[in-house]
Amino acid sequence: MCRVKGYIVPKRHLLISILALVCCWGGPAEAQTLLPHILRLDLTKLEQQGVGLAQEASQLAQFQQYELALQRAKLATQLAPKSAEVWALLGGLYLQTNGLDDAITALKKAQTLDNKNSAVLFALGSAHFQKGKYAQAADYITEGLKVKPNVPGALFDLGNAYLMLRKYPDAIGQYEKAVAQDKNFWPAINNIGLINYESGNMDEAIRRWQTAADIDPKAAEPRLAIAVATYTKGEREKGLTLGESAIRLDSRYADLKFLKENLWGDRLLEDTKKLLDAPKIRATIVQLQERPSRTQRPSPR
């Protein structure tokens, strides 16, 4: 998609007023015979403007200007109400900004207009997952995969839904399918490790996490998980060193709430808390928290 450098808001209210006047016009019979043609022409222009606004919204979203994008997408659905793509875009923007109920409403509208759009079905799955409705999420994603199979991200999302439903064999099956499509899809490998750990198979969990870490040298999550497992097995100093290194890669992983949002299970979270409470790790966390205020400088003009 092209980058947007500016935009023009169409004179929507003026166009709608003109259409309303035309509809109410009580002219002679000859004029009435022309009315359908005039309406189709104007409605086509309105729809074109709606599609144009949707394109602008999509481009704005690339710059993470979601509020501006939402404004245009909302207007686009009024100008092009029969466009599944426009409704899908609006739903995606709501999803991006955590407006889950509005996202589901818009995406279901898109689905009624095009029930074979896999992206819409996947997005509905994501929205229901975020609302904690994991069974519904799995159903939507499964339907999407029937339309467009072998999508690694969708297979991963389906695995996550099964993970939250504690259907561990099904979750592992979907993760393995995702990796079969993309051998470098380390989050799927990582999540197999999460299941192994909760199931009591620590060695297999470490093996999976190490594979994920080898794929992406900057991935903090599998490295912290390895650190926790190593610390729990009794190799305290090694675990602390690995944990400190992982947190320095991404300090968000020092937050148990963040870890839970990333589907870490109860057993792993309990063991992680023990690692994070160690004085060496606490000192590292404090240091990382203080660093921005110490190093922050005015931006160059």
Among 183, 210, 244, the domain boundary falls at: 183
Whether residue 299 lies inside any domain: the answer is no
| pLDDT tens-digit readout, 120-159 | 999 999 999 999 999 999 999 999 999 999 999 999 999 9
Closest listed residue to residue 213, CA positions, set 247, 246, 177, 176: 246
Whether residue 161 lies inside any domain: the answer is yes
Mean pLDDT over 245-260 rounds to 97
Domain tally, the chain: 2
Domain carrying residue 130:
64-183
**pLDDT class of 45 with cuts at 50, 70, 90:** confident
Residues 175 and 201 in one domain: no
Residues 233 and 281 in one domain: yes
Closest listed residue to residue 194, CA positions, set 220, 229, 218: 229
Dihedral (CA of 261, 265, 270, 272) sign: negative
Whether residue 158 lies inside any domain: the answer is yes
Q: What is the DSSP string of 84-133?
A: HHHHHHHHHHHHHTT-HHHHHHHHHHHHHH-TT-HHHHHHHHHHHHHTT-
Residues 75 and 175 in one domain: yes
Q: Mean pLDDT score of the chain, rounded to an integer?
A: 84
Whether residue 133 lies inside any domain: the answer is yes
Whether residue 31 lies inside any domain: the answer is no
Residues 201 and 119 in one domain: no
Residues 156 and 87 in one domain: yes
Among 154, 183, 212, the domain boundary falls at: 183
Dihedral (CA of 240, 245, 246, 250) sign: positive
Among 27-41, 121-135, 273-287, the range scoring the smallest mean pLDDT is: 27-41
Instruction: Evaluate if residue 36 carries a pLDDT over 70.
Output: no
Among 28-42, 102-116, 179-193, 224-238, the range scoring the smallest mean pLDDT is: 28-42
Instruction: Evaluate if residue 38 carries a pLDDT over 50.
Output: no
pLDDT for the residue 291: 75
What is the percent of the chain with per-residue pLDDT over 90, rounded to a whole number? 73
Residues 161 and 192 in one domain: no
Residues 170 and 203 in one domain: no
- CATH number of the domain where residue 287 is located: 1.25.40.10
Residues 130 and 212 in one domain: no
pLDDT for the residue 292: 57
Alpha-carbon gap, residue 55 to 57, rounded angstroms: 5
Residues 71 and 96 in one domain: yes
Among 183, 205, 231, the domain boundary falls at: 183
Whether residue 53 lies inside any domain: the answer is no
Alpha-carbon gap, residue 247 to 273, rounded angstroms: 13
The 3-state secondary structure of 27-94 reads CCHHHHHHHHHHHHHHHHHHHHHHHHHHHHHHHHHHCCCHHHHHHHHHHHHHHCCCCHHHHHHHHHHH
Residues 138 and 200 in one domain: no
**pLDDT class of 208 with cuts at 50, 70, 90:** very high
Residues 177 and 76 in one domain: yes
Whether residue 84 lies inside any domain: the answer is yes
| pLDDT tens-digit readout, 49-92 | 888 888 888 888 888 898 999 999 999 999 999 999 999 999 99
pLDDT for the residue 26: 34
Residues 70 and 98 in one domain: yes
Contact 163, 153 (CB under 8 A): no
pLDDT for the residue 43: 61
